[in-house]
Structure 1
């Protein structure tokens, strides 16, 4: 196996110059860099990542905590983050928290222990106090979909309340006044915020949400099936079903078809997230876009800019949801 000394001799440069090229140091001319890279290619030289880390005090890896490793929502998030980091020559170490406080803490401590240069966290269950304490350490981090008072500059957020408002306002403008609502888990802030937006839209028109047509779901297809079953069993009229996310909306559409009900002829359905298959459901799902892939990319850009001092263009921490109109809602 070729060594850095052989690369140095073949390229006719010093060991320090080879090291700078390997570690992507800008203080090397393009001509010299090309000579070194050509020598590395000719000799089949592969840099030792451990040695690089020791020399640069960087692991060139970023730890990523997500709630789950499956599903279109987290898949889009991970894809956006990994692509942005890989393009910059960085690698991602992924751990899951399963929306459990102890598991999230253990996963974060694991990533810190792996000497990650920085962390990107989709942390739902750990307390603000835990994250504030984490911010006092030496490992920088960015949080997605959460604002922690005192470290707002670390947080990338979506206005979930406004998204919930947009969904219900859209249906009201179509003439709907009788609503069923399937929320996400009430302990999750984004679920509570979306429902708060729903209530704000109703209140503007002097409308209220009937408690028997309000069901707590789980942000999964099974929650949408269960939610629709509960609403139908209440034997109360509703012309629109608002779901806290697209997965539950898809479950509700499937359950409606099994009950010989037609969407949107019997009732309209709107979701939240605009996951990849929302456009392939029947009917195509009207929803609120949650730009999770772009938010993941932005989290990676913030890490690259602040940790590695890599220019990544314009940075922002606030995202705004928007309505995606398709076929699952009709005018009354």
Structure 2
């Protein structure tokens, strides 16, 4: 399939220049003729999305998230909306539900509504398909994922480093029998977080315990289910690393119901640092995922890619950090 990148190479111009010509935006006569000639020679036919972008754009930023009922994505949307408001723009939201077809439809719908910028959280679409979108949509930015060749338009966090820090925190408190409750969604985040847990055990020369990794839905109910299974398999675990704060909250409720005191008898650490982590009893030690800062940066970057009057934000390196609260303590049963 002929792509916009092929047209740019044939015309000897940048992808952005091709996009401007196709969108009837300002460009030099020389560039316009070169692009038009390349389009004719290659037989390039813009798809429906590119044709929609050729229409006058609206002052709207499109946001694609997995599930707006999840606090993580609510924070993401709010951060993008705050940036949009500061530039007198509004947002439209598409929901992907970790499903490739739904993610694709969400992106396509926002493009047909002539969103000039997109901030996209996609886990189900392939790198190749997302790269094709990035080629065609100059104002598109990917969040919580990195696409090779487009790293400058991707905003992500080192998930593996995050769970490594979580597991290492427990190890340094003296815990040696540590479980992991993870997501049953087949996405990179789960693979990376599970590997961070395993890597920390290996780094500190601790054995990986059989049946100490349990996967379930990444919510309160999934955390409950996973913790029940862990307690059924093992009576001597002293700590757990959870895929996210919701699973940690579900696990915490099971421990309380079984009269297992946290943190005196058992330690637990979450991931994301969602608001709920500050209101659990005890307050949850967790890994901070700065999604608010990342979404703010992604929105400003997307705007700068299509508007020369908006300065490109300085590249920011986002890192996971441990937030110490009261659900972790020195192990009394080494």
- Indicate whether the TM-score tops 0.5: yes
Considering only aligned residues, what root-mean-square deviation do their CA atoms show, in Å? 1.7
Q: For each residue in 1:185-223, what CA deviation from the matched residue of structure 2 results, as whole angstroms up to 9, or x when unmatched? A: 351111111111111111111112213111012221111
* Pairs aligned (count): 278
Mapping 1:175-214, distance limit 5 Å: 175-185=174-184, 187-214=186-213
Aligned partner of 2:10 in structure 1 is: none
Greater gyration radius: 1
Where 1:212 maps in the other structure, the secondary structure is coil
* 2:139–2:303 Cα contact (<8 Å) kept: no
Aligned partner of 1:281 in structure 2 is: 280
* 1:121–1:142 Cα contact (<8 Å) kept: yes
* 2:138–2:305 Cα contact (<8 Å) kept: no
Q: For each residue in 1:56-97, what CA deviation from the matched residue of structure 2 results, as whole angstroms up to 9, or x when unmatched? A: 933011111000011211111111110011111111000100
Q: For each residue in 1:92-119, what CA deviation from the matched residue of structure 2 results, as whole angstroms up to 9, or x when unmatched? A: 0001001111111111111111111011
CA distance in 2, matches of 1:138, 1:108: 11
Aligned partner of 1:263 in structure 2 is: 262
Aligned partner of 1:85 in structure 2 is: 84
Confirm whether residue 74 of structure 1 aligns to residue 73 of structure 2. Answer: yes
Q: For each residue in 1:129-149, what CA deviation from the matched residue of structure 2 results, as whole angstroms up to 9, or x when unmatched? A: 111111221453001100111
Confirm whether residue 64 of structure 1 aligns to residue 39 of structure 2. Answer: no
Q: How does the TM-score come out when normalised to structure 2?
A: 0.80
CA distance in 2, matches of 1:103, 1:59: 23
Q: For each residue in 1:18-54, what CA deviation from the matched residue of structure 2 results, as whole angstroms up to 9, or x when unmatched? A: xxxxxxxxxxxxxxxxxxxxxxxxxxxxxxxxxxxx9
Q: How does the TM-score come out when normalised to structure 1?
A: 0.80
Aligned partner of 2:166 in structure 1 is: 167
Mapping 1:118-157, distance limit 5 Å: 118-157=117-156
* 2:268–2:327 Cα contact (<8 Å) kept: yes
Compared CA separation, residues 167 and 138, structure 1 to 2 (3 A):
closer
CA distance in 2, matches of 1:299, 1:138: 15
Where 1:62 maps in the other structure, the secondary structure is strand
Where 1:320 maps in the other structure, the secondary structure is coil
Compared CA separation, residues 67 and 317, structure 1 to 2 (3 A):
farther
Aligned partner of 2:108 in structure 1 is: 109
CA distance in 1, matches of 2:125, 2:321: 29
Confirm whether residue 238 of structure 1 aligns to residue 237 of structure 2. Answer: yes
CA distance in 2, matches of 1:84, 1:329: 36
* 2:56–2:114 Cα contact (<8 Å) kept: no
* 1:199–1:208 Cα contact (<8 Å) kept: no
Compared CA separation, residues 62 and 213, structure 1 to 2 (3 A):
same
Q: CA deviation at 1:265?
A: 2.0
Q: CA deviation at 1:310?
A: 4.0
Unaligned 5+ runs, structure 1? 1-53
Where 2:281 maps in the other structure, the secondary structure is coil
Aligned partner of 1:95 in structure 2 is: 94
